[in-house]
Structure 1
Amino acid sequence: MKVPVLTVAALMLLAAPPARADEPVKSTSADLDGDGKPEAISVQWGQGDAQFVLKVGGATVRGKTNDAEVRGVSVIDLDGGDKWKEVAVDMGLTDDDHRSIVYGFDGKALKELGSPHALTEVRGNGIVLSDSWMGFWNRREKYALDRKAWKLNPVPQELYFVGAEATVKKSFPIVRGTKDKAVVANLAEGSKIQVLAAAPVGPKDPDYWYLVKSSTGLLGWTRGQNLQDNTEGLPWAG
């Protein structure tokens, strides 16, 4: 049976690898404002400097480094449906201090659009997906472009997907809710569990509550310390 060409093309698009920003460089050129003329783009930064200087054409802007090393700039296209392209200043050598500051250029001035942790996926559909390593899972944040306001706005999530499996090495309870400590189940030693999702404890607490599925199909919550102390098999890494 022959598969229609359009079907094959659609499957190829669905299987396309995630788009990412190019490796950062100290200088480059690109047409950012859609006038058909490329602008010279460069970033200047010295070891230990608290600020960097980004230049696009005749426009200049200063940004804070927050003690992170500036790696360079990359050109991205947040929305393939408009005439604009954007430039990102990439900072940090580890996941802990990594940050990208995205700027737009309107032909006259540079405008800071937003500052995602990383440019994990930029597909040209007005959305940036940004991953942060959280010890044994990646926290994925979404940012949406508001072209009218020239802003890249975070899209809040109540829960973050985790999707990890572990083995219980010492029994511990899972509870009904993050504010309801009624015990749903005591996880059996040697049983397999799935860590499905994570919810931030609070704005001043870096820990998370984790939604766990037991080997018997029950759902309940536990704190990260329980997973670290009482399970094995999670891909913990600094």
Structure 2
Amino acid sequence: MKKSLVPAIALSSFALLHAPLALAGDEPLVKAASIDLDGDGKPEDISLEAKEDAKGFSYVLKVGAATVNTRSDAEVHGFVIVDIDSGDKRKEVAVHTGMTDHDSYDALYAFDGKALKSMGSVHTPIEVKGNGIILSNTWQGFWNRVDKYVVDAKAGKLTHVPQEFYAVGKEAQVRESFPITQTRSDSKPVAQLAKGSTIQVLLAVLLPVKGQRYKDNAYLVKSSTGLVGWVSESVLTSKTEGLPFAG
């Protein structure tokens, strides 16, 4: 049985080492590899075993003698190697779970030569360019929200970098006239958008929904006359057309 694993590990290593060390949705996910993670010049054997039982999904990640056994909120599909900081000699393992816009995540792990340490998880797809930053992309129906994460060197954890606003940059046509307001929390109008006019959706801000775990979006909109104001997601999506909704 040991012999039968060698070709799989070798092929996995070849695929990972000859692909860019960034995960943007196109790199092949694997279940086994042999790669130097801690920078000591010696490759570690890496394996991932996905499990499913009556309680849901889980996985066992092994790097050398180090093991992580944890539950997952979604189906486990494989891992890819990323290099968060090309200035050091280390690389990280990103375990991919889920397949939809809602449940797709990467759980990232660092290996120090003895133990595996969870760095946290981020929504996928992610971009890793070796500059110590991870960009996480989350589809918001008609635009893509980009979140930034950096590594807290002392804690060895991913830290989210807050943004007050998120860039949207989409155009739409007004199907039914509606007002845009001075702030996102009041109803004082800046302008009444004309039916048939073209607007630009500039920015979004996340707003908590009372009694719910999720957050809603409010949007900063520029009118065809150059005036800027806020509108709720429900009004924007129901009274315009041309926004690039998936499907």
What is aligned with 2:5?
none
Mapped pair 1:212 → 2:221: yes
| Equivalent runs, 1:129-168 vs 2, <5 Å | 129-168=135-174
What is aligned with 1:50?
57
What is aligned with 1:225?
234
How much is the aligned-residue C-alpha RMSD, in angstroms? 1.5
Mapped pair 1:237 → 2:246: yes
Q: Secondary structure at the match of 1:227?
A: helix
Cα separation, 2, equivalents of 1:19 and 1:56: 18
User: Cα deviation per residue 1:150-208 (whole Å; 9 max; x = unaligned)?
Assistant: 11111111111111000001000100011232100010000000000100111645321
* Pick aligned residue for 1:69 from 72, 75, 82: 75
The change in CA–CA distance for 1:169 and 1:119 in structure 2 (over 3 A counts) is closer
Cα separation, 2, equivalents of 1:121 and 1:147: 19
* Pick aligned residue for 1:81 from 73, 79, 87: 87
The change in CA–CA distance for 1:69 and 1:155 in structure 2 (over 3 A counts) is same
Identity %: 54
* Pick aligned residue for 2:29 from 7, 24, 35: 24
Cα separation, 1, equivalents of 2:125 and 2:138: 10
- Number of matched pairs: 220
Q: CA deviation at 1:23?
A: 2.1
The change in CA–CA distance for 1:112 and 1:129 in structure 2 (over 3 A counts) is same
* Stretch of structure 1 that moved more, 71-80 or 177-186: 177-186
Letter in 2 for 1:52: Y
Letter in 1 for 2:229: G
What is aligned with 1:37?
42
Unaligned runs of 5+ in 2: 1-19
Q: CA deviation at 1:51?
A: 1.6
Letter in 2 for 1:36: G
What is aligned with 1:90?
96
What is aligned with 2:10?
none
Q: CA deviation at 1:119?
A: 4.4
Letter in 2 for 1:166: A
